[in-house]
Amino acid sequence: MGFLDNSGDIILDAVLTDLGRKRMAEGTFTITQFALSDDEINYGSYNPDHPSGSAYFDLEIIQTPILESFTNNTSTMKSRLLTLDNNANFLYLPVILENSLPFDSKRHASNTFLVAVDRKTQVNREDQDKPDAVGVGRDGNGNRQGVLYGKDPTGANAAIMLHQGINNENMPRNQSLESALVEDTYVIQIDGRFGEIVTTQGQPIGSINTTQDDDGFLFYTVSSDLEEDRTGVVTNLNTQSESVLLGSRGSKVEFKIKASSVLTDNESFFDRYGFSIASGDSDLGTKACKAIDSIIRVTGLKTGFSIDIPVRFIKDVS
């Protein structure tokens, strides 16, 4: 990977993704849609006070070095461009934020969401009444903050909750968000080697809404067209009592994570991709653990806004 010199000419550098090359080899490659992004651009470089005049206001932006094209589709285009038909009336664009106000949707003390991959790590419901039922997933007072039960997702209420809308108090909460800006469909991306996305009731999201790319990443398309208990998508967020958003609210998506059987049943992936946490290193109930850090990416299809959520798959090996 490198940078392209963009100091004098406008350069178009394009390559096929891994999936595109696979379909090219199969003879089934057809371009049906495309997206644009401006990930490398810092619009703060616009200088309306440039001494040489208006032709130079955006010169630094135009000459910003850009990355060479690369084929890994999971690493590109976080900030997609969009076209709005009624953009004259849009003063603010919506964002997606973690709603960390309720206890059950707060991160762990490690500033990530922990996914306990087996019953020993999570301390499942059958063991909670036992005197020694203290572990990564539970302390003496109950379920530990920010720990998702990856073996038995229904064993704890913790879940990842995202709110979409305007994060600006100049557009008050009681002011309705334009329908063109309300997300009703999200794509949730997870590394399929480590886990899968499930509903807040611990149920699988229908396979009809799931695709897998050549790198093993799973992509779940969830929308308000399906029942809320299957997807966790709510399109009228104004009915929610607690929200981290400062302004008008759009929609909510909520989900849990189920650990893969490889993480549950053995330590091979932890040894290959992870690291060890010594007993007493962090708020883990004084347990020695192995862990793998990963990212869950959630993207709104309507606006293209995406958010990366840090997760840590963790296994008690004490």
pLDDT above 90: percentage of residues in the chain: 26
Name the residue range of residue 189's domain. Answer: 89-316
Q: Which pTM value belongs to this model? A: 0.78
Cβ-based neighbours of 275, under 8 Å, separated by 6 or more: 290, 291, 292
Claim to verify: residue 123 and residue 257 sit in the same structural domain: yes
How does pLDDT run across 244-254, given as a tens digit for each residue? 888 888 888 88
Query: Which of 35, 63, 81 is at the close of a domain?
Result: 81
Query: Which of 65, 81, 97 is at the close of a domain?
Result: 81
The pair of three-digit structure tokens given for residue 225, joined into one six-digit string = 């067209």
Stretch among 98-107, 124-133, 172-181 having the lowest mean pLDDT: 124-133
Claim to verify: residue 39 and residue 99 sit in the same structural domain: no
Contact 249/173 with Cβ under 8 angstroms? yes
The whole-number pLDDT of residue 96 equals 93
Torsion of CA 201, 236, 207, 312, to 10 degrees: -60
How does pLDDT run across 56-87, given as a tens digit for each residue? 888 888 777 777 776 665 566 666 777 777 65
Cβ-based neighbours of 305, under 8 Å, separated by 6 or more: 80, 93, 94, 95, 96, 164, 299
Claim to verify: residue 193 and residue 237 sit in the same structural domain: yes
Claim to verify: residue 72 and residue 204 sit in the same structural domain: no
The two counts, helices (H) then strands (E), for the chain are 6, 17
pLDDT for 222 beyond 90: no
Query: Which of 23, 51, 81 is at the close of a domain?
Result: 81
The mean pLDDT value of the chain amounts to: 81
The residues pairing with 292 across neighbouring beta strands, listed in sequence order, are: 313
For the chain, the domain total comes to 2
